[in-house]
Amino acid sequence: MEVKMDVRYLRTAPTMAFPRGRLLAVRGGRLNVLAPDGWDTVGGRADHATPITRAEAEDWCEHEGWPVESLDAVPAP
């Protein structure tokens, strides 16, 4: 039986390299960042990232040219 874990999405502050910030996701307590090759697990915490809704994450993906399906591929711990 598969256990479904909730995913929380966050966005980092804008920077020169990432004017709309980076997309982060937390699933099962693990922090991930959306990278060119998919989701990468990162250490640390996202204290300064802004929580966003799934709809806002979808908008971010569309604006940045990422497939919205990426939001369904956040790895489980």
- Residue 38, by phi and psi: left (phi above 0), alpha (psi -120 to 50) or beta? left
11-20 confidence digits (pLDDT tens): 999 999 999 9
Domain extents in the chain: 7-68
CB within 8 A of 34, min separation 6: which ones? 22, 23, 24, 25, 66, 70
Give the type of residue at 6.
Answer: D
pLDDT over threshold 50, residue 2: no
Token output for 46: 């996202």
Give the closest residue to 28 by CA, choosing from 16, 13, 39: 39
19-74 confidence digits (pLDDT tens): 999 999 999 999 999 998 899 999 888 888 999 999 999 999 999 999 999 999 99
